[in-house]
Chains A and B, each alone.
Chain A
Amino acid sequence: DIVMTQSPDSLAVSLGERATINCKSSQSVLYSSNNKNYLAWYQQKPGQPPKLLIYWASTRESGVPDRFSGSGSGTDFTLTISSLQAEDVAVYYCQQYYSTLTFGQGTRLEIK
């Protein structure tokens, strides 16, 4: 299985500041035939199911605020929140779908 490792495990950022979460896969999730990275990002707020934010590593799901962006390729990926809002407090997960589905361990984002 592809192991997904997120960093940091937890993060505290001031309102209005940038938050950056990293995700590293144990092998490349870039499919050469279509040049797509098989990676998604989710947000899970307390007591709620996860919500899809990003797929194909950088395609924002409809309705997701544009302060959320995804980047990276191959084995290294980043979720960036450009200006942190109070409602962004959550746990964030990356997930690869290149092979047997696996998730990262999650990154808890809090307000400083």
Chain B
Amino acid sequence: EVQLVQSGAEVKKPGESLKISCKGSGYSFTSYWIGWVRQMPGKGLEWMGIIYPGDSDTRYSPSFQGQVTISADKSISTAYLQWSSLKASDTAMYYCARAPRFSGWFDPWGQGTLVTVSS
């Protein structure tokens, strides 16, 4: 079974750093792209960026370029999303999802990681 399992919920203070993870299993991790999608409380879906773990080719949404860093460690089939300095406005659910191409549909999705940033 193809699965993406994300790391657990996080509670952080403004200005702190954070790295969340997404571990793939049941398929060749280096043959598909992994994208990240933000969902703010009660809101819709926003594409943040995407990485190809095979060669670490990474693309960012202009809205998120410079705000986050996407990376991957293919040796452990894990993709990451990180922030160097969190803001309260980063409070959201973050999903990873697999894509067949850098511009494609997402399937399956991870269960989501809730990030809460509050002083």
Chains A and B belong together in one complex: yes
Residues 70-112 of B, flagged 1 when their CB comes within 8 A of A and 0 if not, give 0000000000000000000000000101000101111111111
Interface size classification for chain B: 20 to 34
| Residue of A whose beta carbon sits closest to that of B96 | A49
Q: Are the C-beta atoms of B103 and A50 separated by less than 8 Å?
A: no
Contact string against B for A residues 84-103, beta-carbon threshold 8 Å, 1 for contact and 0 otherwise: 00000000010101111111
CB-defined contacts of A61 to chain B, threshold 8 Å:
107
Cβ A38 vs Cβ B95 within 8 A? no
A20 shortest CB reach to chain B, Å: 20
Cross-chain contact B103 with A93 (CB below 8 angstroms): no
Give the residue name and chain of the B residue nearest to A62 (CB).
B107
- Interface size class on chain A is 20 to 34
For residues 27 through 80 of chain B, which have their beta carbon under 8 Å from a beta carbon of chain A?
A: 35, 37, 44-47, 50, 61-62
Contacts of A77 in B (CB 8 A): none
CB distance from B105 to the nearest CB of A (A): 4
Contact B95 A102 (CB under 8 A): no
Contact status B111-A55, CB under 8 Å: no
Q: B57 CB to closest chain A CB, in angstroms?
A: 15
B107 near A106 with CB under 8 A, answer no
Residues in chain B near residue A104, CB distance under 8 A: 44
Looking at the assembled complex, report how far the CB atom of A5 sits from the nearest CB atom of chain B, in whole angstroms: 12
Binding site for A on B (CB under 8 A): 35, 37, 44-47, 50, 61-62, 95, 97, 101, 103-112
